[in-house]
Amino acid sequence: MPSTADDWSARHSVLTHARRAAALVNALADDHPDPAEVTKVLKAYGEVGTVAVTPRDVAEMRTAAVRLREVFAAADADGAATALNRLLGEYTGPLRLTSHGGDSPWHPHIDRDDDAPWGEWLLASSCLALAVLVWDRQRPPGRICASPSCSDVFINQGSGPDRRYCSRRCATRERVAAHRRQQGSGAAE
């Protein structure tokens, strides 16, 4: 059954795809990610119907996630664009429109086929979304959390100054640690 326009726009916006990319990069960061946890992320970001992700699929997706992390590590738009151009050139097919046999509205894909393996799909769909964000904002689409105790990536596309941390929790933890260091160094004088 085709999605409604409201459902479609919420599940398939560029920003939602970019956030899904970040969530999957984080979920796949472990040495042995759990297919059930990866499936939960896919469902949370709009995959409908039965989602069957095997350990082999997860291994391929993890390889894609490692490559995508390079985009999040970029210090500026030039670095993000360079990383994206390399990934687009090496791992994606030509831009095409698909409706998945009439099951969805027309939308762009750059994976090689509608039935591409999960790893190829993750890399291609993520590159497409992240490239649009670089194009739109002329800055890196995201970052790696600045907290030394966290390696999560996040999308940094809001208004205002760039975020340094993936969450308020990490920002607060680092602010408290800096305050304690300052208090400790002040007491030693």
Could you please report the per-residue DSSP string of 117-183?
A: -HHHHHHHHHHHHHHHHHHHHSS-SEEE-S-TT---EEE--SSSSPP-SSSHHHHHHHHHHHHHHHH
Q: Which secondary-structure segment (H or E) carries 98?
A: strand 96-98
CB atoms within 10 A of CB 89: 8
- First-last CA distance in the chain: 70
> Average pLDDT for residues 82-91, to the nearest whole number?
96
pLDDT tens-digit series, residues 108-118: 999 988 889 99
Helix (H, G, I), strand (E, B) or coil at 107: strand
Question: How far, in whole angstroms, is CA 30 from its chain's centroid?
Answer: 15
**Considering only CA atoms, which of 55, 68, 49 is closest in space to residue 121?**
68
Q: What angle do CA 70, 48, 55 make, to 5 degrees?
A: 55
For residues 149 and 122, give the distance between their C-alpha atoms in angstroms, rounded to a whole number. Answer: 26
Q: What is the pLDDT of residue 114?
A: 87
The predicted pLDDT at position 181 comes to 84
pLDDT beyond 80 at 140: yes
Does residue 66 carry a pLDDT above 50?
yes
Identify whether the C-beta of residue 124 lies closer than 8 Å to the C-beta of residue 110. yes
- pLDDT at position 187: 55
- Tokens linked to 166: 């993936």
Question: In terms of pTM, does the model score above 0.85?
Answer: yes
Could you tell me the two tokens for 128? 């497409």
Spacing of C-alpha 65 from chain mean position: 8
Q: Is the pLDDT of residue 53 over 90?
A: yes
pLDDT single digits (tens) 9-50: 566 789 999 999 999 999 999 999 999 999 999 999 988 888
Average pLDDT of 83-111?
Answer: 91
Q: Are 87 and 123 in contact (CB under 8 A)?
A: yes
* Mode of pairing for the β-strands spanning 153-155 and 107-109: unpaired
Strands 142-144 and 107-109 turn out to be unpaired
